[in-house]
Amino acid sequence: MTEGWPAARASASPKSKVQSERASSEVAADECVARLVRHGQAVSANGEPEDVHQLRVCAARLRVWLRLAGITTLHDDLGWLRTAAASVRDLDVQLEAAPPRALTQRLARQRSTALAELQRCLTLERYSALISALRALPPVSIARATNQLHALAARSLSLGQQRTWRAMAEGPTSAQSESVHALHRLRRSVRRVRYALNWLGLDARDITDLQEALGDVCNGVLHLSQAASPAATNKAFRLRQQQELLAKASSALLCWKHTKPILEKLVHAPVHHTPRTRRARQRDAARRGATTH
Partner 1 sequence: MPGSETLLDAARPLTDEGAERWQRAARGLDKLELRFERLYHSPWLRAVQTASALHGLVDGETHVTELLACAPSPKLLSTLKGQRVAVVGHEPWLSELTAWLVTGNPEHARGFTFKKGSVAVLEGTLKPGQMALSSLLPPKVLRQAAKG
**Residue nearer to partner 1 on the CB measure, 81 or 227:** 81
Question: Contact region for partner 1 (CB under 8 A) — 135-143, 180-188, 215-223, 224-232?
Answer: 135-143
Does residue 137 touch partner 1 according to CB under 8 A? yes
One of 9, 75, 101, 287 touching partner 1 (CB under 8 A)? 75
One of 57, 74, 142, 145 touching partner 1 (CB under 8 A)? 74
Cα dihedral 39→42→44→50 (10° resolution): -70
Site string for partner 1, 42-71 (x = CB under 8 A): ----------------------------xx
One of 33, 51, 62, 77 touching partner 1 (CB under 8 A)? 77
Residue ranges of E strands in 111-156? 140-141
Does residue 138 touch partner 1 according to CB under 8 A? yes
**Residue nearer to partner 1 on the CB measure, 10 or 133:** 133
Q: Are 171 and 211 in contact (CB under 8 A)?
A: no
Bridge partners, 26 (sequence order): 141
What does 63-119 look like in DSSP terms, one character per residue?
HHHHHHHT--SSHHHHHHHHHHHHHHHHHHHHHHT---HHHHHHHHHHHHHHHHHHH
Between CA 224 and CA 162 the distance in angstroms is 24
Residues that bind partner 1 (CB under 8 A): 70-77, 125-126, 128-130, 132-133, 135-138
